[in-house]
């Protein structure tokens, strides 16, 4: 069974701080790793990572994959209260039938709270 | 604007009653999914459908049923056999992922969810 573990499960920081969220995985046939942000309702897509060592960046958010360590990090610099959300990590294993058409397995998420 | 619409946002039912959650998409996506989200549990897959008139069980399908009569619609019925139905339900869709090693990656697009409370 494929596994995705996110840490920490919750994190409280002050506005302006930099945070690093972790996602580690155990899958049989890795295809991609995805990050989503869930503020109140619908998760929204942030990044899809397929190659090790190549950073993806969007504004203050960045993410990188380390296939050797079977992990990914999501960095948020100069945090703002609007960054408060649950950050979900998912890993795609196209041969894992339990994860649906894309073989996706989700982690439990990191609940990030940014205090003013 | 294209998107996924789930209704209702909040649903209250008494134990023993079946209830159907609606999910409609106008993104022309082939694949649709139902997830359940509980606090501290992440997203767990209930059912998915890659094409009209076909659907497959996910990890936690017991006590649920679905239909896919139209490409745009993928309703989920929570039956009285589901032992712990109170949860947040998310519907999602994606372009057709293809098969096996030739699957095309496509991020999921999510609806805003339905919060079901059964008492």
Q: What is the pLDDT of residues A46-75, one digit of tens each?
A: 999 999 999 999 999 999 999 999 999 999
Q: What is the mean pLDDT of residues B75-91?
A: 94
Does B79 score more than 50 pLDDT? yes
Find all residues with CB under 8 Å of B102, minimum gap 6, and list them: none
Q: What is the pLDDT of residue B95?
A: 82
- Whether B56 and B47 have beta carbons less than 8 Å apart is answered as yes
Does B20 score more than 50 pLDDT? yes
Closest by CA to A87, choosing from A113, A106, A109, is A109
Does B101 score more than 60 pLDDT? no
Q: What is the pLDDT of residue B42?
A: 84
Shortest Cα–Cα distance, B110 to chain A (Å)? 5
Spell out which residues of chain A touch residue B48, defining contact as CB-CB under 8 Å: 100-101
Q: What is the pLDDT of residue B98?
A: 55
CA–CA distances in Å: residue B114 to residues B12, B16, B69, B72: 10, 19, 21, 18
Shortest Cα–Cα distance, A98 to chain B (Å)? 5
Residue B112, strand partner residues: none
Band the pLDDT of B85: cuts 50, 70, 90. Answer: very high
**Can you tell me the distance from the alpha carbon of B99 to that of A6, in angstroms, rounded to the nearest whole number?**
28
Spell out which residues of chain B touch residue A4, defining contact as CB-CB under 8 Å: 42
Does B102 score more than 90 pLDDT? no
Q: What is the number of H-type helices and E-type strands within chain A?
A: 0, 11
User: What are A58-63's contacts with CB under 8 Å, separation 24+?
Assistant: A63/A35
Q: What is the pLDDT of residue A57?
A: 96
Q: What is the pLDDT of residue A26?
A: 94
Per-residue pLDDT of chain A (116 residues; tens, 9 = 90+): 789 999 999 999 999 999 999 999 998 889 899 999 999 888 999 999 999 999 999 999 999 999 999 999 999 999 999 999 999 999 988 777 666 666 889 999 999 999 99
Q: What is the pLDDT of residue A99?
A: 65
User: Is A56 at the interface with chain B, CB within 8 A?
Assistant: no
User: Is A98 at the interface with chain B, CB within 8 A?
Assistant: yes
Q: What is the pLDDT of residues B47-71, one digit of tens each?
A: 999 889 999 998 899 999 999 999 9
Spell out which residues of chain A touch residue B58, defining contact as CB-CB under 8 Å: 98-100
User: Is A32 at the interface with chain B, CB within 8 A?
Assistant: yes
């Amino acid at each position: 069974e494929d596994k995705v573990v996110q840490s920490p499960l919750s994190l409280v920081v002050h506005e302006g701080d930099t945070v690093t969220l972790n996602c580690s995985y155990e899958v049989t046939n890795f295809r991609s790793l995805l990050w989503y942000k869930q503020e109140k309702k619908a998760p929204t897509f942030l990044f899809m990572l397929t190659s090790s060592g190549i950073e993806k960046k969007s504004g203050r958010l960045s993410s990188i994959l380390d296939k050797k360590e079977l992990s990914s990090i999501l960095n948020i610099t100069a945090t703002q209260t609007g960054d408060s959300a649950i950050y979900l990590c998912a890993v795609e294993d196209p041969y894992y039938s339990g994860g649906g058409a894309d073989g996706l397995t989700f982690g439990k998420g990191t609940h990030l709270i940014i205090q003013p | 604007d294209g998107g996924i619409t789930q209704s209702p946002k909040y649903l209250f039912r008494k134990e023993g009653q079946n209830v159907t959650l609606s999910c409609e998409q106008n993104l022309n996506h082939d694949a649709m999914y139902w997830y359940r989200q509980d606090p501290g549990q992440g997203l767990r897959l209930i059912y998915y459908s890659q094409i009209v008139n076909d659907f497959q069980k996910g990890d936690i399908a017991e006590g649920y049923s679905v239909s896919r009569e139209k490409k745009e619609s993928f309703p989920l019925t929570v039956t009285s056999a589901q032992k712990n139905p109170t949860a947040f339900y998310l519907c999602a869709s994606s372009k057709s992922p293809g098969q096996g090693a030739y699957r095309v990656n496509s991020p999921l697009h999510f609806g805003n969810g339905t919060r079901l409370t059964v008492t």
